[in-house]
Amino acid sequence: MSKLEARGEGYEAEHVHSVYEEIASHFSSTRYKPWPIVERFLKELPDGAVGADVGCGNGKYLTVNPRVFIVASDRSTNLVKIARQHQPHVAVVADNLSLPHPLYCFDFAISIAVIHHLSTSARRVEAVRAVLDLLRRPSGDVGDSESRALIYVWALEQKDSRRGWDEGHEQDVMVPWVIKGGQKAKRVKGQRKRKSEAEHQDSEEQTLAEQLQSKTYMRYYHLYRKGELRHDIEEAGGVVIDSGYEKDNWWAIASPKRDTGPIGS
Amino acid sequence: MKLLTLNFLTCAIKTCKTSPSSFPLHPQDAELEIVESDVNMAFLRNILPRLMWEELRGITRELGLPELPETAPAAEDLGEPSQVAKDLHRLLLETSIREGKLVCGNCGHEYAVKEGIANFLLPGHLV
Ligand SMILES: [Zn+2]
């Protein structure tokens, strides 16, 4: 990665946001299986809970529990177009550092594979704080359950994955997303449907000429090392209730600290 | 965008959030559409206590929709389903803003709604 390029908002616009906007339909066709920890978190919510999915992507977590109501958001309009099809939930276009929700208005929040796309430590902590700010503060009444957020980020420690990163590796990396020639051509024609299994096979067996037309998009990631997610959550004024490692990712369930907000109370 | 969404939306500008006039956002030049869906009684009952009724009344008035009663219905008014429930379902989950804008009552910033999608991305100088 070029050291000359200053990280921050403009950097993310080029190396994260515009990439997802471009690869939206192809990305979505590969993202439909919910991760087990996220699925469990959503299924354990009480019926009627209202929450936010910050950085919802194609909305794959909106199908997990139809008895809760989720207000989803993503920075990519093309991904929101796909996410909003999942009833009864809704999806809007928004930046995760400038979310359009009243403070403390949700029972739960998830932000899955999102915060690792922010390119400075301060912005990652701010993104965690933005998620915690969504959560309802407990009234103190008996039986009033704690509102919780589930955050999921890519791990540095993933020596079993084909990418081979592990402890000691550079944490700020560029990761390729390849759209093969045939698929790219279809996307340009405006087709957004999920590819059938057969089509997928076809694209594996494409000719050399088609492969030459493949397009590679590079996305920025900050790979979290062990303990770093907890650090960011605490820095943002949260407490970690549960946490762990699942298949190349660190996850944590967090609540706002008891003494944080509402302002003036 | 379903009208129910407005119950959970405010201005994306941080300094507006602590100002009561930033909630709810005000629809303007709104082109409404009805997107029909099945009445989900469990969902309606669950969402009922979360509704900011007074603000919702204001929004329906601004949109020129039929006046809502002064107080929110109680769970037992929803029946299986009653007309009250059907009306609420139509208003919150079927009535949608297709085109138009949502305006912050505090700073006046306008957020566009296009093809049913509200966009809250801010221009650089407001972030
Ligand atoms: Zn405002």
- Lowest model confidence (mean pLDDT) among A32-46, A80-94, B108-122: A32-46
CA A47 to chain B, closest CA, distance in angstroms equals 7
CA closest to A67 among chain B residues: B43
| Number of residues written out for chain B | 127
Indicate the domain borders of chain A. 9-159+222-256, 172-218
Q: Where does the pLDDT of residue A144 fall: very low under 50, low under 70, confident under 90, or very high at 90 and above?
A: low
Q: What are phi and psi of A244, to 5 degrees?
A: 180, -170
Considering only the beta carbons, identify the residue of A71, A87, A99 that sits closest to B12.
A99
Question: DSSP assignment, residue A155?
Answer: B
Q: Which residue has the higher pLDDT, A169 or B13?
A: B13
Please tell me the total count of domains within chain B.
1
The residue in chain A having the minimum alpha-carbon distance to the alpha carbon of residue B14 is A98
CATH number at residue B72: 2.20.25.10
Q: Of A2-6, A155-159, A170-174, B105-109, where does mean pLDDT reach its minimum?
A: A2-6
What pLDDT, in 10s, does the model give residues A70-126? 999 999 999 999 999 998 899 999 999 999 999 999 999 999 999 999 999 999 999
Residue A126 CA to residue A169 CA, distance in Å, equals 25
Q: Is A118 on the interface with B (CB under 8 A)?
A: no
Is the ipTM here above 0.85? yes
DSSP assignment of A31-59 equals: --S--HHHHHHHHTSPTT-EEEEET-TTT
Chain A environment of B17 (Cβ under 8 Å): 102-103
Task: Select from 3.40.50.1820, 3.90.1150.10, 3.30.465.10, 3.40.50.150 the CATH code of A9-159+222-256.
Answer: 3.40.50.150
Give the model confidence (pLDDT) of B52-90 as tens digits. Answer: 999 999 999 999 999 999 999 999 999 889 999 999 999
What is the separation, in whole angstroms, between the first and last Cα of chain A?
46
Residue A213's pLDDT is: 74
Best interface-test mutation with B: which of A92, A133, A147, A192 has the largest number of B CBs within 10 A?
Answer: A92
pLDDT at B12 over 80: yes
**Is B56 in a helix, a strand, or coil?**
helix
Cβ of B119 within 8 Å of Cβ of A92? The answer is yes
Range of the domain at B55: 3-126
**Residue A94 C-alpha to ligand 1 middle, in angstroms?**
14
More confident residue, A247 or B59: B59
